[in-house]
Amino acid sequence: MLSNSMPTTSRTKILRRIGLAWTIVCFVSIGATDRARGQSNSTEATATAGGVNVSLLRVGLGGLGRVGCWLPIRLEAGGLPAGSEIKVLVVASDARGDQCADTVATTTADSSGNIAVASVFMTGRLDGNVIVRLLGSSDNILWEHSIRCHSSKQFAIPETPAETGPVPSDLTLMTFRPMSFATIGLPDALKSLANELAAGEATGESLAVMSLKSLDDLPPSRRGLDSVDYLLLIDGYELSETQRQAVEEWVTSGGHLIVSCGSKLPQLLQSTVGSWLQPVFQIEPTLMYSQDLSALQNFVSGSSQLQTFRKPVPIMKLRSNQAWSVVDSINGPLMQRVSYGAGMISVVAVDLDEKPVNQWLSLPQLYEMLIFSQHLDLAENRTSRSGRISSSGVSDLATQLAAVSDAVPAADRWSSWSVMLLILVFLLVIGPMDYLIVVRLLKKPHLTWLTFPIMILTTCALAVSWLGTREAALVVRQVHLLDVAQPGARQTIRLRSWESVSAADSGHISVSAKPLPISTTAGQQVTDAPMTVSWHGRAEDVYGGLYREGGVALGRQLSHRSDRLKG
């Protein structure tokens, strides 16, 4: 008799293939759902907006930011309930890949229902999504928008940059390697230098230009400039007092400010920047004129001729004896530089954006000298990226500091490699041992179904009981860095602390910090500054590192952070 039934072996294979296919489909759908969640959030927000109109949203500087650093966010919205309390919440990834909800600002809508917020946030991954939410008084979502983050290693500037709408949907994040240069507008020479460095990989250097549309886009806090290495003021100098203080604090903490001015000397001296820099560089209120700029030309090695066409060029008079004259001429210094706290200030006494300097063919090389303090010769500065320990920056000082501040358990505690080696030895031994017991000793091979699980359970129970007898104290390690700077007559003290905790069990802990009072020798109390507590990640592609790529987001935890949270 013929049977239409399928053989058992073939049926089993088909069932296994179907199960494997369903497993793959489930994992793919989970990953796709997580990646699309940020995009769908923006669509869902339209329905829940309820008349809220966000007229301006700026994240980062010129669409760029640095992972693991504070990023500025600027938001202007209308259509909110008048007089109600509005919270601005930013949800971004931390260094572990978990979500961190940061209440960056709490404000009150005016009588017209409008708000204007400028604050900072931080993200710990080069990819993923950043979600910006407006919450009402009862924490209900009034508006929501998702911004897609992506990394880039090339920072070439296109001929026609893409126009950014009032509410962007993309943010480019960079590592700690490229130099970041913030400027108002985009000088052609700086654009040429950035494209030249992007095309010539032999130098190993890269320049990320953060082009701001106006001075209003400059952050009003030092933390908002955390991603910036250099700041160029070449045209406008009228910063608000809050912005000027932010720039001064940024320079004191390690930033480099470059100011260029010639014919616009009256505007500079009447601005907040001029009132700050005038006593530092002893800038005189009158201009001098010269037809000879050969000193500036000789400063750039191998440069082309800087023609003035026998026309007088307005030059500022810099009379400071404390400043270093980087470029000196017979008429006086054309460029001076001072050390200001941990940073520097460079003043160029001619207009870099006016004739004849802006027509100089070697102006990109002048910017190169200002930024890198040398001319990057492609033939002499060839470097091999494979010569580094890794491309993630293991040799950086920040990584070394993170390794020192790690909370290391007791010396007699086993490492992960030792535990894995013991597991491997156990797997190699348990089979022959079970064979000797059931075959040689008991001579009943069928008992292996009983003895094998008993041996595994007994070993696990002994391991757990042995660990229970050992003391696993909580290990906390702290590293404090005290930076004292005295620019002018004022002294600035900046204290940075890194803390790491190691415990036997995984779980959530509550962390609170309280600054210690600092007194002067005269007994006067130092003015307290706001204290910031946040997570810290390594500039590497390891677990918990800033450069690690995100995977399928399963079991992500949510933490909350705010400058107003108290432990």
pLDDT: which is higher, 508 or 448:
448
281: buried, middle or exposed (CB in 10 Å: 19+, 13-18, 0-12)? buried
> Which of 361, 383, 405 is the last residue before a domain boundary?
383
Residue 350 has pLDDT above 90, yes or no: yes
Whether 91 shows a pLDDT value over 80: the answer reads yes
Split at pLDDT 50, 70, 90, the class of 12 is low
First to last CA, the chain: 80
Task: Examine residue 329 and state whether it is found in any structural domain, yes or no.
Answer: yes
Give the least confident one: 271-285, 386-400, 414-428, 534-548: 386-400
Measured between alpha carbons, how far is 10 from 430 in angstroms, rounded to an integer?
Answer: 34
Residues 315, 366: one domain?
A: yes
Q: How far is residue 344's CA from residue 357's CA, in Å, rounded to a whole number?
A: 23
Same-domain check for residues 228 and 320:
yes
d(CA 549, CA 283): 50
Computed on alpha carbons and rounded to an integer, the radius of gyration of the chain in Å comes to: 31
Q: Which of 283-297, 470-484, 485-499 has the highest mean pLDDT?
A: 283-297
* Top-confidence range, 347-356, 386-395, 481-490: 347-356
Specify if 81 maps to a domain: no
376/422 same-domain check: no
Does 1 have pLDDT greater than 70?
no
Residues 197 and 337 occupy one common structural domain = yes
Do residues 376 and 430 both lie within one domain? Answer: no
State the total domains in the chain.
2
The winner for highest mean pLDDT among 37-41, 142-146, 551-555 is 142-146
What mean pLDDT comes out for the span 230-257? Answer: 94
pLDDT of 380 reads 42
Q: Does position 44 have pLDDT exceeding 60, yes or no?
A: no
Say yes or no: 434 and 288 in one domain: no
Residue with tokens 């949907």, as numbered in its chain: 169
- Whether 237 and 375 share a structural domain: yes
One domain for residues 250 and 344: yes
**Residue 244 domain flag:** yes
CATH number at residue 283: 3.40.50.880
Task: Based on the fold, state whether residues 314 and 197 are members of the same structural domain.
Answer: yes
Q: Reply yes or no on whether the pLDDT at 388 is more than 50.
A: no
Residue 65 belongs to a domain: no
Q: Does residue 314 lie within any of the structural domains? A: yes
* 33-42, 216-225, 464-473, 551-560, range with the lowest pLDDT: 33-42
352 lies in the same domain as 203: yes
Reply yes or no on whether the pLDDT at 528 is more than 70.
no
pLDDT at 95: 83
181 with 322, same domain: the answer is yes
Q: Which of 5-14, 131-140, 523-532, 550-559 has the highest mean pLDDT?
A: 131-140
Query: Any idea which of 28-32, 62-66, 235-239, 443-447 has the lowest mean pLDDT?
Result: 28-32
- The string of DSSP letters for 170-226 reads EEEEE-SSSEEEEEES--HHHHHHHHHHHH-GGG---EEEEEESSGGGS-SSGGGGT
**Share of residues in the chain with pLDDT > 70 (%):** 77
Examine the fold and report which residue of 360, 383, 406 is the final residue of a domain before the chain moves on.
383
- Model pTM? 0.77
Q: Is residue 395's pLDDT more than 80?
A: no
* Residue 89 belongs to a domain: no
Alpha carbon distances (Å) from 312 to 168, 234, 284, 305, 351: 45, 20, 18, 16, 13
DSSP secondary structure code for residue 504 in this structure:
S
Residues forming beta bridges with residue 115, ordered by sequence position: 77
- Predicted confidence at residue 60, as pLDDT, reads 95
| In 324-395, alpha helices (H) | 363-372
What local confidence, expressed as pLDDT, does residue 20 receive?
60
Q: In this predicted model, which residue has the larger pLDDT, 88 or 474?
A: 88
Question: Is 399 part of any domain?
Answer: no
pLDDT of residue 401: 72
Helix/strand/coil for 7:
coil
The per-residue pLDDT for 230 is: 97
Q: Do 369 and 309 share a structural domain?
A: yes
394 in any annotated domain: no
Listed residues 430, 451, 468: the one ending a domain: 468
CA distance 247 to 251: 6
Of 110-124, 237-251, 405-419, the range with the lowest mean pLDDT is 405-419
Domain that holds residue 448: 416-468
* Least confident segment among 233-242, 337-346, 457-466: 457-466
pLDDT at 383: 38
Q: Between residues 77 and 33, which one has the greater pLDDT?
A: 77
- Across the chain, mean pLDDT equals 81
